[in-house]
Structure 1
Amino acid sequence: MLDVIDLTKVPAFLLILVRVTAFFVTLPLFSYKNVPTPHKIGFSFFLTWVMYYTVDIPIVVINETFLLLILKEAVVGLAIGFIAYLILSAIQIAGGFIDFQMGFAIANVIDPRTGAQSPLIGQYLYTITLLFFLAVNGHHLLLDGMFYSYEAIPMQQMATGLGNDAVASYVIETFNKMFIVAFQMAIPIVGCLFLVDVALGIVARTVPQLNVFVVGLPLKILVSFVVIFISFGMFTILMRELFELMFVSMRDVMRLMGG
């Protein structure tokens, strides 16, 4: 058995395992609490075993720099997975904008995937987005990005770009783009509800006998659902742009971290 296993490549196997496991800590879909922890560990080990025979494995010696390589692999996996998670958070931000205008902001629910509070409409849109993401095999592209990360950041090379300000600047720019996409998703509903508020204000001034607070909330909910149904085609286009932004951001972060 010892003749079959090349013990000189065991440190390289550990480095691959650290990067893959760090990916799954923050990567969308794979990091959610719905996935049992033993399944995450088993899938990480299985994927590491597959990548062990497909990635160019250098000879890694356990010395004083091996711990730095392990820390580098963990940071690379966490950073790239966090960028993907950050982009998909635009759905929750857009849902928060919509819920605030609809009056649903006081009725948050617990997201079973993350364990945090989530707006109602944001939870609905996020679920639709994840189903669409799985339908177009986006999770396969995430795994491909994990595999091709070794081309941008080789295993035996230190991530020289981590000490560069370009990585932090790019993360801030990506954060800004995420808010722009969230605003684009929410603006049809928020804009229509703003017009409804203006109309209710005019009615309140012209017909003081009418209780606007009683009529306004059901009317805004009705208008919101109608506009969501009408603008759902545009929402799918924005989802495609969001996925493209996520994959491009992951690629650019890998290039910047690789120096």
Structure 2
Amino acid sequence: MQMAGEFISVNMGLGLATIFNPQQPQTTVLSFFFSLLATLIFLSLGGVEIALLAMGKSFERMPPGAFSIYSINSEFFLNFFYESFLLAFKVALPVMVVMLLFNLILALVNRFIPQINVFIVGLPIQIFIGLWVLILSMPVILWAFSSHTREYIIKFVALLGG
């Protein structure tokens, strides 16, 4: 989810703060917000309890000293990262499309009226429109991330034999 926040922040222009101020942390405000949102969803789905149970199951399935690099199911983890990246892209896509259309409109305005400083005029409007689209798409984002988390919690427990 933090990656979705990065995608959205860069397209909205909020990523410029990390470029202009190198002493600021390298995460944007929206990526931090999405990270907190993901943590809250994980906690609300009972992720801590399931993680503790999974840790106990892992000692049953693979006792200490019996670890082998060949016993790791790499396909599961690769699929998890692939699905997570795809989810981040899908979550950020509505804002990215609207920001692309807005930037095309700003380019046309700059072409027809070159006296307007499009960067100064357009950046606050771009942030406002991006936040508006983000707020409108928040129910879908919450549903998508909670279903993704729930699905992978179930798959992870099944991977450990539970």
Superposed pair shares fold, TM > 0.5? yes
CA distance in 1, matches of 2:64, 2:132: 55
User: What's the offset of the Cα at 1:250?
Assistant: 2.7
Relative contact order (alpha carbons < 8 A, sep ≥ 6): 1 or 2 greater? 2
Please give the secondary structure, in 2, of the residue aligned with 1:209: coil
Superposition TM-score, scaled by structure 1 size: 0.53
Aligned to 1:226: 132
Report what 2:149 is aligned to.
Answer: 243
Q: 1:119 and 1:249, CA in 2 relative to 1: closer, same or farther beyond 3 A? A: farther
Residues 1:125 and 2:34 aligned together: yes
Amino acid across the alignment from 2:56: F
Residues in 1 aligned to 2:40 and 2:145: alpha-carbon distance in whole angstroms? 11
TM-score when normalising by structure 2: 0.81
Cα 1:172–1:135 shift into 2, 3 Å:
closer
Percent of aligned pairs sharing the same letter: 25
Aligned residues: 156
In structure 1, give the amino acid aligned to 2:91.
M
CA shift, 1:206, in A, is 2.2
Contact 2:95 2:130 in 1 (8 A): yes
Report the counterpart of residue 58 of structure 1 in structure 2.
none
Compute the RMSD of aligned alpha carbons. 2.4
2:87 equivalent among 164, 181, 186: 181
Bigger helix share: 2
Query: Where has structure 1 moved over 4 Å in runs of 4 or more?
Result: none
Structure 2 residue aligned with 1:101 = 11
**CA deviations over 1:69-106 (Å, ceiling 9, x no partner):** xxxxxxxxxxxxxxxxxxxxxx1111111111111213
1:135-214 matched pairs, under 5 angstroms: 135-151=44-60, 153-155=61-63, 158-159=66-67, 162-163=69-70, 167-214=73-120
**2: CA distance between counterparts of 1:146 and 1:95?**
30
Which stretches in structure 1 are left out of the alignment for 5+ residues?
A: 1-90, 111-116
Offset, 1:192: 1.0
Larger radius of gyration: 1
Q: Rate the CA distance shift 1:214–1:204 in 2: closer, same or farther, 3 A.
A: same
